[in-house]
Amino acid sequence: MKAAVYYGPGDIRVEDRPEPDASGDNLVVQVHCCAICGTDVKLATIGHHRAKPGRVIGHEMVGHIVHVGANVEGFAAGERITLATTVACGDCPYCVMGLGNLCPNSLPIGLGADGAFAELMGVPPEALAGGNVVKVPDRVPDEAAALCEPMSCAINAQQIVGVAEGDSVLVIGGGPLGAIHVEVAKALGVVQVMIVELTEPRLSMIRKFKDIVVIDGSQEDVAAIVKQHTAELGAHVVIVAAPAARAMEESINYVRKGGAVSLFGSLPSDAPDITFNSRVIHYGELRVCGASDSRPEHVRKAVKLLADGEIDYEKIVTHRVSLENIHEGFELMKQKQSLKVLVFPSVEEYCTP
Ligand SMILES: [Zn+2]
Ligand SMILES: [Zn+2]
């Protein structure tokens, strides 16, 4: 079978690989499509410390089961599934606290185990034991289901930062995750969703989403526009979905007193520092939150939002490539020419989206 394999930073090859083993304890899935994640773009450029040469990458997948191990319960051939990517150990203090996404012993699919930029994928027994395999109902199309994992990360972040019905939310960064945050916020009942982006064509892609305020941060006064839409108070919540120090530093200027900021995007490890005006945080009683990854419960929530028709997934998916052309997809993401890019391992799926 064909698969995209990591050999080192910037060295990803589409090549023939043996089909995954079908054991008594695993599932084998035929992959319908798999979205390109920021992590995959990192692998295709600077690499990742947890990826070993020879690893099949890709984790934002949907596919149907073609093999069910004799010892596996609750799954049947033909069922469609998606995955929560981080398989937690279940035993460590973080797992015991219910924070499996922060588990230091986790197995990340597509980094520590073979992933889904492939025609077939073996689902490891650990993922089954951890509840990481989530069924997708018929009414959720493949192209929507491939968004469950990135959506789950946005859901985790919005839960942590305390997004609530009736809130106003400003998202900084109009890339794929910014677009997903916008749709998740609306689905969670946010009444005023605003988003800042600096560049085309992302601005044009973001302007297609319904019921949001799009701010061109290169031309417009962000603080003034946010105030104008929030009775001069600022947003209840600001989500920084851009890997930019300045965006993080400026985020506290757009939030109202008593509000909260989510540092959703991460900065490079060689330049992680930012400066905050502590008085704005202190006197404004602001909360500044992190967010990392997600848990199976967030993936199940994502599936539900998609099944309920709450997410305009067709505007989030802007490009499709075949597995052979996966590098075109990486380039689109690197050059900020796309929102989500889907990879289709099988020519048949690619022709009938
Ligand atoms: Zn991802
Ligand atoms: Zn653990």
Q: What is the side-by-side strand order in the sheet with 55-56?
A: 11-16, 2-8, 55-56
The rounded Å distance from CA 197 to ligand 1 centre is: 21
The rounded Å distance from CA 249 to ligand 2 centre is: 32
The rounded Å distance from CA 229 to ligand 1 centre is: 32
Ordered alpha helix ranges (H), the chain: 38-43, 93-96, 125-129, 142-145, 148-161, 176-187, 202-206, 222-228, 245-251, 278-284, 296-307, 313-316, 326-334, 347-351
Which domains does the chain show, CATH number per domain? 2-147+311-351 (3.90.180.10), 151-290 (3.40.50.720)
The rounded Å distance from CA 101 to ligand 2 centre is: 8
Least confident of 102-106, 231-235, 345-349: 345-349
Helices 148-161 and 296-307: angle between axes, nearest 10 degrees: 110
Least confident of 40-49, 95-104, 330-339: 40-49
Q: What is the pLDDT of residues 270-309, one digit of tens each?
A: 999 999 999 999 999 999 999 999 999 999 999 999 999 9
Q: How many whole angstroms separate alpha carbon 202 and alpha carbon 174?
A: 6
Residue that has been written with the tokens 């992959």 in this structure? 31
The rounded Å distance from CA 37 to ligand 1 centre is: 4
Ligand nearest to the CA of 93: 2
Q: Residue 325 pLDDT > 90, yes or no? A: yes
At residue 351 the predicted structure's pLDDT band, cuts being 50, 70 and 90, is: low
Tokens at residue 13, please?
């090859």
Ligand nearest to the CA of 152: 1
The rounded Å distance from CA 107 to ligand 2 centre is: 10
Q: Say what the pTM is.
A: 0.97
Residues 6+ away with beta carbon under 8 Å from 272: none
The rounded Å distance from CA 221 to ligand 1 centre is: 32
The rounded Å distance from CA 134 to ligand 2 centre is: 20
